[in-house]
């Protein structure tokens, strides 16, 4: 779906120079993509140095920076526009800067994506093709046989939505920046694997394997039918409830990615000082924090906070939904909990 002027007056959140500077920081995930010939792609991972960009030469290139919403307040504000889709599906805001002719080649994503044009123009070609064969040995997942069906030139503020596995190719017309809002779509295998990892410390099965009626076997190395049947019966006792699935989802979907770290305050306020400031200026979640809830059960950064009732429940729901609390919303009964979030680096003072 193409939406012209989806965000009126939008011209971007960061300029190219600042983006290049950001890609040189250690805690920023960035990729540099260059195309020398038709099927000759080069991929380099950050962090970069200014020298890396001076050595590129004249071939088309693109810089991709992930999780801009973790480094720029305005990016988090932009993401809030997409809360018509549940936070549980939200991944991050990626920004790409490309010189004239730059792009990442024809490809498809395994998830829903909104492509919002910032500075400059980008030409998008799309295709509903079923042939998703990739170029062999390429450092990127480039479609080997891309057949364009529709084409548009996007201007600042225009946005293109693409469903999963929809082939597309974006090429910069002059210098341009594009903001990609992606939504996570884990595979069944990933969910099942992580659920079993979650459950392994929560399953308690009593008893031990035993075989008082063991008989002499012709082949000592053979696994007997009796052993197989007994173990099969043991494993049938493994059960889980909807609540355990809900608790797993809350922890799994808010679990920070392996490269994400939280920075506690260098000089933390005392509990009394925090309480006073929170009631005066409000609080907000740190950019990396993820918070979800199911009924009265709350989850923050991979941990279950526990069940809350009454006014505390309403306040925490507001915090999860809007990622902030203004001063009049801060519940005094929740201050000890919020103070713990603050000490862990999960929360900051001020409602922004």
Q: Please state which CATH number belongs to domain 186-202+239-352.
A: 3.40.366.30
As a whole number, the mean pLDDT across the chain is 93
Between 138 and 342, where is the model more confident? 342
Please give the structure tokens belonging to residue 224.
């007997």
- How far is 343 from 265, CA to CA, in rounded Å? 7
With beta carbons less than 8 A apart as the criterion, state whether 52 and 32 touch.
Answer: yes
Question: Averaged over 101-126, what is the pLDDT?
Answer: 95
Distance of CA 235 to the CA centre of its chain: 34
Residue 137 CA: distances (Å) to CA of 42, 59, 134, 144, 167: 11, 21, 9, 11, 19
Could you state, in order of their start, the residue ranges of all structural domains in the chain?
Answer: 2-183, 186-202+239-352
With beta carbons less than 8 A apart as the criterion, state whether 174 and 117 touch.
Answer: no
Among 48-62, 127-141, 278-292, the range of highest mean pLDDT: 278-292
With beta carbons less than 8 A apart as the criterion, state whether 36 and 42 touch.
Answer: yes
Please, is 22 exposed, middle or buried when counting C-beta atoms within 10 Å of its C-beta (0-12, 13-18, 19+)? buried
At 35 the pLDDT is 84
- How far is 285 from 47, CA to CA, in rounded Å? 26
Give one DSSP letter per residue of 138-194, joined into a string: -SS--BSS----EEEEE-TT-EEEE-TT-EEEEEEESSEEEEEEEE----HHHHHHH
At 260 the pLDDT is 87
3 state SS of 199: helix
- How far is 2 from 308, CA to CA, in rounded Å? 42
Question: Averaged over 235-251, what is the pLDDT?
Answer: 94
For tokens 């050595």, name the residue.
55
Summarize pLDDT for 184-212 with one digit per residue, the tens. Answer: 888 999 999 999 999 998 888 899 999 99
Q: Please state which CATH number belongs to domain 2-183.
A: 2.60.120.650
Which residues are bridge partners to 45 per DSSP?
Answer: 31
Look up residue 289 and give its DSSP letter.
-
91: nearest Cα among 42, 15, 164: 164
The predicted model scores a pTM of 0.88
3 state SS of 36: strand
Summarize pLDDT for 8-65 with one digit per residue, the tens. Answer: 999 999 999 999 999 999 989 999 999 877 678 899 999 999 889 988 878 899 999 9
- What percent of the chain is predicted at pLDDT more than 90? 83
Question: Averaged over 103-108, what is the pLDDT?
Answer: 94
Summarize pLDDT for 299-332 with one digit per residue, the tens. Answer: 999 999 999 998 999 999 999 999 999 999 999 9
Summarize pLDDT for 145-175 with one digit per residue, the tens. Answer: 999 999 999 999 999 999 999 999 999 999 9
């Amino acid at each position: 779906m193409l939406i012209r002027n989806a965000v009126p007056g939008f011209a971007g959140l960061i300029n190219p120079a600042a983006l290049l500077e950001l890609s040189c920081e250690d805690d920023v995930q960035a990729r540099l993509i260059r195309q020398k010939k038709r099927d000759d792609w080069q991929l380099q991972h950050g962090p970069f140095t200014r020298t890396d960009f001076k050595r590129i030469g004249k071939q088309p290139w693109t810089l991709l920076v992930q999780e801009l919403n973790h480094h720029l307040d305005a990016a988090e504000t932009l993401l809030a526009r997409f809360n018509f889709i549940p936070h549980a599906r939200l991944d991050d805001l990626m920004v790409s800067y490309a010189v004239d002719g730059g792009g990442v080649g024809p490809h498809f994503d395994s998830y829903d994506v909104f492509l919002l044009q910032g500075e400059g123009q980008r030409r998008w070609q799309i295709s509903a093709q079923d042939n998703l064969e990739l170029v062999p040995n390429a450092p990127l997942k480039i479609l080997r046989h891309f057949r364009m069906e529709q084409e548009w030139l996007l201007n600042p503020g225009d946005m293109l939505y693409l469903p999963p596995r929809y082939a597309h190719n974006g090429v910069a017309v002059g210098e341009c920046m594009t903001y990609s809002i992606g939504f996570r779509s884990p595979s069944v295998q990933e969910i099942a694997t992580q659920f079993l990892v979650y459950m392994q410390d929560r399953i308690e099965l009593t008893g031990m394997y035993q075989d008082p009626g063991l008989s002499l076997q012709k082949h000592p190395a053979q696994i007997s039918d009796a052993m197989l049947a007994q173990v099969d019966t043991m494993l049938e006792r493994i059960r889980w409830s909807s609540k355990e699935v809900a608790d797993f989802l809350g922890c799994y979907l808010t679990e920070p990615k392996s490269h994400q770290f939280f920075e506690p305050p260098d000089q933390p306020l005392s509990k009394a000082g925090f309480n006073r400031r929170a009631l005066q200026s409000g609080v907000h979640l740190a950019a990396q924090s993820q918070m979800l809830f199911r009924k009265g059960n709350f989850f923050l950064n991979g941990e279950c906070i526990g069940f809350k009732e009454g006014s505390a429940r309403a306040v925490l729901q507001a915090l999860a939904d809007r990622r902030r609390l203004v001063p009049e919303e801060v519940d005094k009964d929740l201050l000890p909990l919020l103070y713990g979030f603050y000490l862990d680096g999960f929360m900051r003072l001020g409602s922004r």
